[in-house]
A and B are shown apart, each in its own frame.
Chain A
Amino acid sequence: MQGTSIELTELSYWYEDVEQPALRGVSLTIPAGQFTAVIGPGGSGKSTLCQLLSGYLPRSGGGRREGNVRLDAIDPAEAPIAEITKVAGIVFQDPDAQLVRGVVEDEAAFGPENLRVPPAEIESRVAEALAAVNLTARRRSPVRELSGGQRQRTAIAAVLSLSPRMIVFDDASASLDPAAQAQFVQLCRRLHAEGRTVVTVSGRFDDAARAAERVIVLDGGAVLLDGAPQELLRTSRDRLAQLGVLPPWEGAAEAGSHAAEPAAGTLQSAGMVTAPTQRPPGADCPGGDSGSGPLLEVQNLSYTYPGGQEALRDVSFAMHPGAWGMLTGENGSGKTTLTRLLMGLLPVPSRSVYWKGRDVSGMPVHQLAGDIGYVFQQPEHQFVEHTVWDELVYGLRVRSGWRRRQADLTPEQTEAAEALLAAAGLSGRRQDSPYLLSQGEKKLLSVIGQLIQPKALYILDEPTSGIDYLAAQRLLKLCRGAAARGAALLMITHDPRLVEEDASFVLRLDQGKVEDYRQLGRNHELMQARF
């Protein structure tokens, strides 16, 4: 394949009612058939670039574009839909925003059907696309029964079946488990070998970026670095680390260290934290101190969805005050189902889950929420207010009723909220809509929205997925603050290396069953040092 696939000339873009451009004079050329990775920290303009390539901006999403965009010589803002679809397929980060038919097979067939591909060929494309993302076995499954990672793989299959000349993956592997991420990189290599132009977009210098021929680093809406991945790693490692696109263990040891932690004194004076009480010396139980009663005890928990799909079988574990659990497992292994059960968001079978010795079956969610903070996998699912500030303090307003007025916040509460906002790096965004934040900022907001209230346990569903390492470090620092104040944490993660230093135990699920449940040594010493 020859010629130019993507050509950007002095490309700038402004969102409606926003003064600062999201992209500033970007000029670059990507030859046809090249495997390119575009990386950059949150807010660097990556997703804006993808939406400009797809034509969504400014055609449907509004705003103002200056400069030129050419995909195989067509302008996506003006070209007919059929032409754009044949040239470029784009997979975005949020699968729920891309799936339209409700069944895995129908999703994969939808694009080719629109392009009038004969049914026999659609059949072969669907089979190939589902095999490429390892979803053949779920071909007739309703999308709503899939895990987040499986839905993302469905979204990838839906674009693969279009068989476009160019495929752009906008952080499409963020919610995939490590095995699926490795498979994703293989898929990119295979598409590249077929002669297609492949562009991966990510907040991290990930495996896809390392496998690419070229890496373009964006920062502040402009191209900062551009070169072969090994060359960039050799010549600009420190700079990449400072940006937060490299993990701390690859040269960014101090990354995120300047992320301010909320002053414990401020939070305590506001009455938002429980004073450290009994600290877990750690003993026989992986979930913490076996000497005191557990906060949370799960006994032979099994769960089957109303459609008959078994999600969990005989899961047992316990958590004590101060424990930090790492919940891992492949996409669809039951991690989110387990945490939703713990929070009461799914009907809990009786005599399976005990909170401070009390069976939680039938206990209302708002009652459990007095002790347990829950952070959703998709931050958007948690947002209930229209501004960042209102979203942050919502939990404080409902503490003594379903909703209270802003004037009800005490000066101490306001001060503590300000401290958390600063710690999350969101002080300048307080009046913005939560939906307009970058992915990393959304995650941070969803976490501080829970941390602002003192809880005995915080459950976080993949809090670090899809965000750069600086944002991840900032988020973990906030979690460490909560742990230092005596809270227990249970964190679903596909980033075990980021969390393992802090975690006291790991619980790994495989097809709904406990595959591994053991104590992690590092936390033992950490706790001793802390307390």
Chain B
Amino acid sequence: MILSYQGGGSPLHRIDPLSKLVVLLCIAVLAMRLHTSAGQALLLLAATLLARTAGGVSWRRQWKAMAFLIGFAVPYFVLTLLTVPGSHTIWQFGVLHVTTEGADAAGSVTLRMFTVFLSSFVYMVTTDPGDLVTALTRRMKIPYRFAFGISMALTFLPLLQEEGRSISAAHQVRGAARPKGIKQRLGWWKVFVSAILHNAVRRIQQTAGAMEAKGFGAYPERTFLREQKPSAAGHITAVGAVLITAALWWYIHIVNL
């Protein structure tokens, strides 16, 4: 499963969820601050290296995760490329024209999408949802029902993925081949998506019922079997990330990156 937590012993696995959340927010802040393609490319490169070395996420897995975005990113890139005004035209066809400024803006927004998605993906695969719930409830004093809501939301994408796989298997073992042609494809997607949503809703209802049967929501607070204590490494990482972000913010302002 691509989007669910995978246990491991990497440095990012060992850091507590809140310290890691600080790093994630720092990356998001930098992604918003940078406004050139070159700067965004450097940030994406840094994020991929971090994912590989600190999170133990293989190149192949990173690619598979980012491939999800291509369907959204390419049209967004083209649209930005053709609509952002600029003074240095590099290609023109009738009313369509591409400028250096437009190319830079398109590259920047597209790379930003990949950076934010990749860093969130690495957070999801290296963070045990249970640890996140505990950290949000115990340290940030967020009501546990809300914290579990966040945890369940994190598991919703894997749930859809699992349902999709299960429904696809059910069709295939009955002999259903991949649809051909636009009409068949549209028909297939209509059935497939409605079945996934139908089953996902059924699963959510089941889960809600099962949680209630085990006393979820019975009291305003609850206890936790284990709690991942924030380590010195987590503190250092979070503080380091904030300092680096502040320094880069200043540097970006100076060099106009």
Contact = CB atoms under 8 A, between A and B. Distances in A.
Interface of A: 54, 56, 60, 80-82, 85, 90, 96-103, 105-106, 109-119, 122-123, 126, 140, 142, 144, 158-159, 162, 307, 343, 345, 364-367, 369-370, 373-374, 376, 381-384, 394-395, 398-399, 401-403, 449-450, 453
Given A80-B218, A85-B218, A119-B223, A100 B211 contact: yes
A97 B218 contact: no
B209 A402 contact: no
Contact of A374 (B1, B128, B155, B173): B173
Contacts of B213: 54, 56, 85, 90, 98
Given A343-B173, A395-B174, A81 B218 contact: yes
A144 B165 CA distance: 14
Interface of B: 1, 5-7, 128-130, 155, 162, 166-167, 169-180, 184, 187-188, 191, 195, 206-207, 209-219, 221-226
A394 B174 contact: yes
A102 B173 contact: no
Contact of B210 (A100, A395, A453): A100
Contacts, number: 151
A381 B215 contact: no
B184 to A, nearest CB: 6
A381 B175 contact: no
Contact of B179 (A85, A383, A402): A402
Q: Looking at A119, A381, A384, which has the most chain B CB atoms within 10 Å of its CB?
A: A384
B177 A116 contact: no
Contacts of B171: 384, 398, 402
Contacts of B222: 113-116
Contact of B177 (A140, A142, A364, A384): A364
A381 B216 contact: no
B219 A116 contact: yes
B221 A116 contact: yes
B177 A382 contact: no
A159 B191 CA distance: 37
Contacts of A90: 213
Nearest to B208: A60
Given A100-B207, A117-B223, A402-B179, A384 B218 contact: no
Contacts of A450: 174
29 contacts: A82-B219, A85-B218, A97-B206, A102-B5, A103-B128, A109-B225, A110-B214, A111-B214, A111-B215, A113-B224, A115-B215, A119-B226, A122-B223, A159-B214, A307-B6, A345-B173, A364-B178, A365-B172, A366-B176, A369-B173, A369-B175, A381-B169, A382-B170, A384-B167, A384-B174, A384-B195, A401-B177, A402-B176, A403-B188
Given A85-B214, A97-B210, A403-B176, A383 B170 contact: yes
Contact of B218 (A82, A343, A364): A82
Contacts of B226: 119
Given A158-B214, A382-B170, 17 more contacts: A60-B209, A81-B212, A82-B215, A85-B213, A85-B214, A97-B209, A100-B210, A102-B155, A112-B223, A114-B216, A159-B214, A345-B173, A364-B178, A369-B173, A384-B171, A402-B171, A403-B191
Nearest to A97: B206
B173 A105 contact: no
A81 B215 contact: yes
A158 B215 CA distance: 12
B131 to A, nearest CB: 10
Contacts of A453: 175
A382 B199 CA distance: 12
B219 A369 contact: no
Nearest to A374: B173
Contacts of B5: 102
Contacts of A105: 225
Contacts of B223: 112-113, 116-119, 122
Contacts of A374: 173
Contacts of B218: 80-82, 85, 114-115
Nearest to A343: B173
Contacts of A99: 210
A362 to B, nearest CB: 14
A105 B176 CA distance: 39
Given A114-B216, A119-B223, A401-B184, A382 B210 contact: no
A370 B170 contact: no
A436 to B, nearest CB: 12
The 3 closest A-B pairs by CB, nearest first: A82-B218, A114-B215, A365-B172
Contact of A402 (B155, B170, B178): B178
Contact of B184 (A56, A113, A402): A402
B221 A365 contact: no
A82 B226 CA distance: 22
B219 A56 contact: no
A119 B224 contact: yes
Contacts of B166: 381
Nearest to A80: B218
A98 B207 CA distance: 7
